[in-house]
Every structure is written in structure tokens, then in C-alpha cells.
């Protein structure tokens, strides 16, 4: 049907769960994306600590599988991640290395290198954006390239693009929500089962919902970092995560949850940012059956606007395919202007 298919050559830097998820959905959806958007997405290079694999015509599934298994026969010799980003011909880099909120590395260098080499960037890495948002956006602006990061906040929950595209014309007064699924899971289970924090944390660690070192989640740091990204994107602040007033959930007791419940409330770890510059993460009372009262690992955000009133969005906050879905939407959004109205979504 489409005669003007556009080839978009991608690299993926960081090939853990999220990077692997991106490769999987790009492969699985290749045909549908070509049909629907006229985009021929090809993964031409992957880099992580194991090495680099490239194929200028597009990596095959077998090459990608071999790379994932550490098979040295597919590794490009003498090429660093930096070389690949700078020298391999491609249009867009997906940066999916783990978040580091101390100095943002190695993601920060990857993103700067890619933008300076005139690649668009789509990332799930919160560190660079929480530390150097303005610098990165200015660099992207100077190079005429896009830097998109929907996956950094709320996983599959389309929060940033919802505000940017769907509420155009609205002034945003505040954003308030549950941005960390681990904390929500712990508080939900504590409330439902009347169990102490330590018990539920261990349970969450056993089923893989909490990490062995849960500090970043339960102390509210992860929520704070996401809040900073929202503050910078939506409210044009130049904040870093150190500007956020943070309290986590480690001292919440089953008694506190029970008292709240008897009064018609539950307790959730809420991040809130508003036009006055307030940046705060803390356990807060939420009325039972309020739109913010969502259970389990779900994330939620309520956007207060001047015209549309309160808009709430709920979705899965984590998971590699969910993050890959957000990355894929960002990739398509860079090339598709949304001006085609005849395309359908099935």
C-alpha cells in the first residue's frame, strides 16, 4: 500500500530487560508499523557491556539472540559503544541502560554522543533527565533532533505525551500520583492483610516486585526522580532530584493503615508537583474509591488543568514490554506527525 516507506535505522544501547523488550516489540510489530505508519524500523546495532553487534541492513533475530546469549561469533571486534553511536549510520538511538541518579552515567554520555552525532534519542533512563534535563534539551534543540522519554515516568502509562498532545491548550496546575509500583504493592498488601512492612517487603522481594536493595523504591527516590522529570517537562523548571522533599514508606504501620481505613481513607506514596514549584514525595491520605486509590503495582496520576478539570490516567508502571511500548510510541511519534487520519489502530 505505502509507496513512500521510510527506513528508520535504530541502535539500542543497554540490552537488559528493557533493551531486549524493545528489540522484541520492534521485531514483532515490524509489519504492522510498516503498514500503518509507513515506517520500516530496522535495528542496525546493539551495544551493552558484553560488546557490540552491528548489521547495516538490519540485525536478524538469530544475530540478536546470539548477542543476548553472549556468543562472541556475532560481536564486532574493536568497536566501542561510543564508536557505534558516532560512526554507525543510523537515525535514532534507544538508550536503555540502568538509571544512575548520582552522575547519570553511562546514559548521559551515550545521549550526548548520539545527539552530537545527529541521532534522535528515545530513552527509558531517568538519570540523565533528572540531572541534566535542560542541557540535554538545549543540545537536542541546537542539533534539530528529538529527545523523547515517555518510558521514564509511569512505564506504559502515557503521561508526558498525554499532557503534551492531548491536553494542548490547557494550563496545567498540578500533577499528583503514585509513580512507583513497588511502594503501591507494599501499601496495598499491608492494608489488605493487616501485615507489617517488613513482612510484605520480603514477600515483594520473593516475587520479584521489590529489589534485594529496595532503598530507591521504598525511600521515595524513584518517585522523586520521576517527579523531577515531570517538573522539568511540564512546568519548565530546572530541578534535580535533590530539590524534592522526600519521605518514603518505611515507617508506615498496619495500625496507621487501619485508622485511615476506618475514616474512609487509604495511605499511598504520593508525588506532587505544581505551578508554585512544590516538589514533594510523601505518604498521603487518599479517600477510598478516589481515582488515585488504585491497588497492587498500578501507577496513577491526576493532572489538574484549567479547562479540562482533573484528568486521571492509570496504567502498569513497570515491566519490560510496557517500557518497550512507551519507547515504541516515542519512536513512531518522532516520525509520524499524527496528521494522517485514515490510519487505523488494529
Nearer to a second copy, 42 or 216 (CB): 42
Instruction: For residue 97, give the DSSP letter.
Output: P
Cα–Cα distance measured from residue 19 to residue 13, given in angstroms and rounded to the nearest whole number: 7
Cis peptide preceding 23, ω within 30 of 0: no
For residue 317, the minimal CB distance to a second copy (Å) is: 10
Which residues form the interface with a second copy (CB under 8 A)? Answer: 25, 29, 32-33, 37, 137, 140-141, 146-148, 150, 156-158, 161-172, 234-236, 275, 288-289, 291, 293-295, 298, 305, 307-316, 319, 321-322, 324-326, 328-329, 331-334, 336-339, 341-342, 344-346
Nearer to a second copy, 79 or 285 (CB): 285
Residue 299, classified by CB atoms within 10 Å of its CB into exposed (0-12), middle (13-18) or buried (19+), is buried
For residue 217, the minimal CB distance to a second copy (Å) is: 20
For residue 272, the minimal CB distance to a second copy (Å) is: 16
Nearer to a second copy, 156 or 186 (CB): 156
Cα–Cα distance measured from residue 258 to residue 281, given in angstroms and rounded to the nearest whole number: 22
Contact 246, 219 (CB under 8 A): yes
Nearer to a second copy, 69 or 168 (CB): 168
For residue 234, the minimal CB distance to a second copy (Å) is: 5
Helix, coil or strand: residue 160: helix
**Nine-digit cell at 66?**
546470539
Nearer to a second copy, 111 or 246 (CB): 111
Nearer to a second copy, 160 or 246 (CB): 160
For residue 1, the minimal CB distance to a second copy (Å) is: 14
Cα–Cα distance measured from residue 227 to residue 229, given in angstroms and rounded to the nearest whole number: 5
For residue 97, the minimal CB distance to a second copy (Å) is: 22
Ramachandran class of 27: left when φ > 0, alpha when ψ lies in -120 to 50, beta otherwise: alpha
CA-to-CA dists, residue 337 to 165, 209, 340, angstroms: 11, 37, 8
Nearer to a second copy, 88 or 156 (CB): 156
What DSSP assignment string belongs to 275-288? TT--EEEEEEEEET
The reply to whether 29 belongs to the active site is no
Contact 182, 218 (CB under 8 A): yes
CA-to-CA dists, residue 346 to 32, 36, 245, 304, angstroms: 9, 9, 44, 32
For residue 312, the minimal CB distance to a second copy (Å) is: 4
**Nine-digit cell at 178?**
503514585
Which among 226, 245, 316, 343 is annotated as catalytic? 226
Contact 147, 121 (CB under 8 A): yes
Of 108, 81, 122, the C-alpha closest to 333 is 122
Helix, coil or strand: residue 293: coil
Catalytic residues: 226
Amino acid at each position: 500500500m505505502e509507496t513512500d516507506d521510510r527506513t528508520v535505522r535504530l541502535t539500542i544501547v543497554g540490552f537488559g530487560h528493557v533493551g531486549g523488550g524493545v528489540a522484541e516489540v520492534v521485531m514483532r510489530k515490524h509489519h504492522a508499523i510498516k503498514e500503518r505508519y509507513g515506517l520500516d524500523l530496522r535495528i542496525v546495532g546493539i551495544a551493552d557491556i558484553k560488546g557490540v553487534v552491528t548489521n547495516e541492513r538490519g540485525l536478524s533475530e538469530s544475530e540478536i539472540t546470539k548477542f543476548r546469549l553472549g556468543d562472541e561469533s556475532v560481536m564486532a571486534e574493536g568497536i566501542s559503544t561510543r564508536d557505534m553511536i558516532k560512526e554507525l549510520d543510523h537515525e535514532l538511538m534507544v538508550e536503555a541502560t540502568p538509571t544512575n541518579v548520582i552522575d547519570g552515567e553511562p546514559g548521559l554520555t551515550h545521549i550526548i554522543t548520539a545527539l552530537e552525532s545527529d541521532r534522535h534519542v528515545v530513552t527509558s533512563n531517568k538519570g540523565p533527565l533528572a540531572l541534566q534535563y535542560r542541557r540535554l534539551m538545549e543540545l537536542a534543540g541546537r542539533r534539530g533532533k528529538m529527545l523523547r522519554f515517555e518510558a521514564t515516568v509511569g512505564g506504559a502509562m502515557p503521561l508526558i505525551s498525554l499532557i503534551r498532545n492531548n491536553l494542548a491548550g490547557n494550563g496545567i496546575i498540578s500533577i499528583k500520583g503514585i509513580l512507583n509500583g513497588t511502594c503501591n504493592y507494599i501499601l496495598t498488601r499491608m492494608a489488605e492483610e493487616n501485615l507489617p512492612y517488613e513482612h510484605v517487603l520480603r514477600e515483594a522481594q520473593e516475587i520479584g516486585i521489590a529489589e534485594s536493595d529496595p532503598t530507591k523504591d521504598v525511600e521515595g527516590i524513584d518517585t522523586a526522580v520521576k517527579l523531577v522529570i515531570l517538573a522539568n517537562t511540564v512546568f519548565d523548571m530546572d530541578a534535580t532530584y535533590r530539590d524534592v522533599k522526600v519521605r518514603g514508606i518505611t515507617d508506615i504501620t498496619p495500625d496507621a493503615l487501619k485508622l485511615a481505613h476506618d475514616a474512609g481513607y487509604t495511605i499511598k506514596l504520593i508525588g506532587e508537583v505544581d505551578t508554585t514549584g512544590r516538589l514533594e514525595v510523601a505518604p498521603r491520605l487518599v479517600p477510598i474509591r478516589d481515582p488515585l486509590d488504585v491497588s497492587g503495582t498500578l501507577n496513577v496520576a491526576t493532572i489538574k488543568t484549567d479547562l479540562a478539570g482533573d484528568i486521571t490516567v492509570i496504567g502498569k508502571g513497570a515491566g519490560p514490554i510496557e517500557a518497550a511500548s512507551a519507547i515504541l510510541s516515542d519512536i513512531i511519534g518522532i516520525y509520524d506527525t499524527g496528521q494522517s487520519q485514515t490510519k487505523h489502530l488494529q
